[in-house]
Amino acid sequence: MAFNSRLSHLLAAVALAVMAVFAWDAGRQGLWANMVLGVLAGLGLLVFLAVTYSMRRNPDEPAVVGPEDAGNLHILLDQMPIPLVRHAAGEGPRALNRAARGLFGTDDLIVTGAEVLVPAVTGAVAGSSPVLSLFGRSYAVGVSEILSDDGAVRLATLTDVEMEMNKAEAAALRDTLHILSHEIMNSLTPVASLADIATSYLAQEKGENVEAAGEALEMLSRRAGSLTRFIEAYRSVARLPEPVLQPVDAGRLVEEIVAPFRATSGVVFEVTVAEGLPRVLLDESQISQAVINVLTNAVEATEGCEDRRVVVSVGAGAQAVVIRISDTGPGVPDALRANLFTAFATSKPKGTGTGLNLARQIALAHGGNLQLVEGGMTTFAFTLPVRG
């Protein structure tokens, strides 16, 4: 059985371009193993293209690639860590390499996720990179259109950009908070100072109106002081430094964080750590603070409950380690769910709304996320990507 080489060559050329971009990006991020993999796969594709073109008898006629050459192309495509998808009019999308088959859970025809994938592939302009949400992650779709014996065919690459988008979101929020807190503090500080000065002047005077003015100034001073403390607490998010990443055993880290809670909180802690988890590149001090914030909320949520229990698990996700923290409290109020991770959102009388927000910003800065998991116990899940 023979293959028309035109499609094979175009597939190889697209794959070569993808591998070049992948190797460059891996090198930029210091992921040397991925960069070497990209370079080797790219060299293999170059060899394939050179050999098949040299076998053409007549430049004006399409060459025929035998099953062995086609098999070699499929082997090379399987080395690509980026999912590659084929879509033609009148038929469903198909997975062209191992990464695509793993992502969509299929050997060929894509069913699960096709309702999101097909509109993105067919609607994308060649050369653009629209972003779609697929299986809880964000993918940039790169599309090329070719002509084959069967008509127009679209080839699409799906590049996972969840980490980059999360980092960008975290950086943008930190910049915004820094500017806002700076401007608010600049305006608030003289207000509090002038209120104190005016109060001291009025202390030397007497009369009903003077007394009322003094009380108003004291109230103004107290409110200004309260707001100053609030802004200072929230500045911790804006001042969050870039994480210093080192390989960390997430299971060991969680066990160490839980130990003092178990000894002092009066809450029963159940901790499970899956075996064989990969080490994760983390800033240990930052992630520790993020986990502590969520654990503190979990412990406080169980106050007044007969069954005071917090369940913590560390397991594997899709190219990630997932830390889940569940509690037996009454749950998150419906009115708070939509703004749960928003600045200043809190249901506590003396809360500042910084705990969960800071925890999520730390997770985002690591290319991961912190989310509320629906159903069952109140559960928050940290997703921390495994890189390299």
Note the pLDDT tens digit of each residue in 83-134. 889 888 778 898 988 888 888 888 888 888 888 888 888 887 766 678 888 8
Lowest mean pLDDT among 69-73, 176-180, 226-230, 377-381: 69-73
Write down the pLDDT at residue 277: 93
Return d(Cα 248, Cα 291) in angstroms, integer: 14
Classified as helix, coil or strand, 242 is coil
Mean pLDDT value across the chain: 76
**Which CATH topology does 246-385 take?**
Heat Shock Protein 90 (3.30.565)
Write down the pLDDT at residue 64: 44
Q: DSSP assignment, residue 27?
A: H
Q: What percent of the chain has pLDDT over 70?
A: 65
Q: Residue 5: is its pLDDT beyond 60?
A: no
β-strand partners of 65 = 3
β-strand partners of 372 = 380
Question: In this structure, are residues 338 and 387 in contact, taking their beta carbons and an 8 Å threshold?
Answer: no
Lowest mean pLDDT among 100-109, 174-183, 205-214, 252-261: 174-183
Q: 0.85 cut: is pTM over it? A: no
pLDDT band at 6 (very low <50, low <70, confident <90, very high): low
Does residue 380 or residue 304 have the better pLDDT?
380
Does residue 255 or residue 334 have the better pLDDT?
255
Domain ranges of the chain: 3-161, 166-238, 246-385
Highest mean pLDDT of the ranges 42-46, 68-72, 181-185: 181-185
Q: Residue 36: is its pLDDT beyond 80?
A: no
Q: What share of the chain is helix, strand, coil (3-state, %, to 5)?
A: 50, 20, 30
Q: For residue 341, what is the enclosing H or E element?
A: none
Does residue 253 or residue 23 have the better pLDDT?
253
| Closest CA relative to residue 176, chosen from 186, 184, 164 | 184
What integer is the mean pLDDT of 49-65? 48
Return d(Cα 285, Cα 322) in angstroms, integer: 18
Rounded alpha-carbon distances, angstroms, from residue 102 to 48, 84, 107, 108: 25, 11, 9, 11
Return d(Cα 281, Cα 31) in angstroms, integer: 12
Note the pLDDT tens digit of each residue in 322-366. 999 999 998 888 777 777 776 555 555 454 556 888 898 889 888
Q: Where are the beta strands (DSSP E) in the chain?
A: 3-4, 64-65, 84-88, 94-95, 131-134, 137-148, 151-160, 246-248, 268-273, 280-282, 309-317, 320-327, 369-373, 378-385
β-strand partners of 286 = none
Write down the pLDDT at residue 3: 43
Q: What percent of the chain has pLDDT over 90?
A: 19
What integer is the mean pLDDT of 66-93? 72
Classified as helix, coil or strand, 308 is coil
Write down the pLDDT at residue 65: 43
What integer is the mean pLDDT of 372-387? 89
Q: Do domains 3-161 and 246-385 have the same CATH topology?
A: no
- Select from 3.40.640.10, 3.30.450.20, 3.90.1150.200, 3.10.450.50 the CATH code of 3-161: 3.30.450.20
Note the pLDDT tens digit of each residue in 139-192. 888 887 777 666 778 888 888 877 677 667 666 666 666 666 666 767 677 777
